[in-house]
């Protein structure tokens, strides 16, 4: 058996038109999965799906969805089932962070949006997908969190709070779904070169501060997170649930401090 084989599996990956989500979709398609590309913008989704289908014909479909809309998420699930018949893997990757600065300056609306999009939307989507996995007694749910949930920050504190909540969401759901063979895990990336994190890595001072205490002395690239997602979705990780894989170049080791 190929431990990382995803042949015949269907995976929904939110926020998969670019960045980490796109890299995960590409990697899962490489391993034989059919993938659902989803984000707010249909054109961006189509471009990502076309690139995957050029390499693996018929491997990707597009179902746009805004994670802040429960109706959009239900349509994402319903349309996936209609076109592909089932859902074996769910990757909750999409997130938002509309505020950069100290906690004292965040508005209620901004804080609420972060919690709703990064935690509650994950709960919604998992609740829509999990019943069929529970009935089938098989499935893998992956939440892309962040090492921000393990540390502190003077500029993305609310985002970090939401990502810490994702760790606990995975632990709780792992306990609930475990008896039915459904696994729930997190990935906690460090700083990765994506448009989403541009405010951090484009700032030379921030980039220097991050990489100075990172053993690999650099930030990550999207494809370097994808392997962890393939592992968590595949037979290689069937005895793993409620856990978090940290992929951060070693930055949380405290090296050099």
| Active-site choice (4, 124, 159, 231) | 159
Q: What is the C-alpha separation between 28 and 56, in angstroms, rounded?
A: 11
Query: How far are the Cα atoms of 77, 95, 194 from residue 22, in angstroms, in the given order?
Result: 18, 14, 11
- Told to judge if 159 belongs to the known catalytic residues of this protein, a careful annotator would answer yes
Residue 84 tokens read as: 């592909």
What secondary structure letter does DSSP report for 178? G
Q: What is the secondary structure of 205-248 as a DSSP string?
A: HHHHHHHHT-TTSS-B-THHHHHHHHHHHSGGGTT--S-EEEES
Q: What is the C-alpha separation between 74 and 80, in angstroms, rounded?
A: 10
Torsion over CA: 101, 103, 107, 108 (sign): positive
- In 3D space, the residue among 70, 65, 8 whose CA is nearest the CA of residue 37 turns out to be 65
Sheet strands side by side (includes 89-92): 60-62, 34-38, 10-14, 89-92, 139-144, 182-189, 244-247
Q: What is the secondary structure of 103-157 as a DSSP string?
A: GGG--HHHHHHHHIIIIIHHHHHHHHHHHHHHHHT-EEEEEE--GGGTS--SSBH
Give the residue numbers annotated as catalytic, written as ranges. Answer: 159
């Amino acid at each position: 058996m190929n431990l990382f084989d995803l042949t015949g599996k269907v995976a929904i990956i939110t926020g998969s038109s670019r960045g980490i989500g796109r890299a995960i979709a590409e990697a899962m398609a490489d391993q034989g999965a059919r993938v659902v590309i989803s984000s707010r913008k249909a054109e961006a989704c189509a471009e990502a799906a076309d690139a995957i289908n050029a390499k693996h014909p018929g491997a990707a479909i597009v179902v746009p969805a805004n994670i802040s809309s429960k109706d959009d998420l239900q349509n994402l699930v319903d349309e996936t089932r209609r076109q592909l018949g089932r859902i074996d893997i769910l990757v909750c990757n999409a997130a938002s962070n509309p505020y950069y600065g100290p906690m004292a300056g965040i508005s209620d609306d901004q804080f609420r949006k972060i919690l709703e999009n990064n935690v509650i939307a994950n709960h919604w989507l998992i609740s829509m997908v999990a019943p069929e996995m529970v009935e089938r007694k098989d499935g893998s749910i992956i939440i892309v969190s962040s090492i921000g949930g393990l540390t502190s920050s003077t500029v993305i504190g609310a985002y970090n709070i939401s990502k810490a909540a994702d760790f606990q969401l995975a632990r709780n759901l792992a306990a609930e779904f475990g008896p039915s063979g459904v696994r729930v895990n997190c990935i906690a990336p460090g700083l990765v070169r994506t448009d989403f994190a541009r405010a951090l890595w484009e700032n030379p001072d921030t980039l220097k501060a991050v990489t100075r205490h990172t053993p690999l002395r650099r930030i990550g690239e999207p494809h370097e997170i994808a392997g962890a997602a393939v592992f968590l979705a595949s037979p290689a990780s069937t005895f793993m649930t409620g856990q978090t894989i940290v992929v951060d170049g070693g930055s949380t080791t405290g090296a050099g401090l």
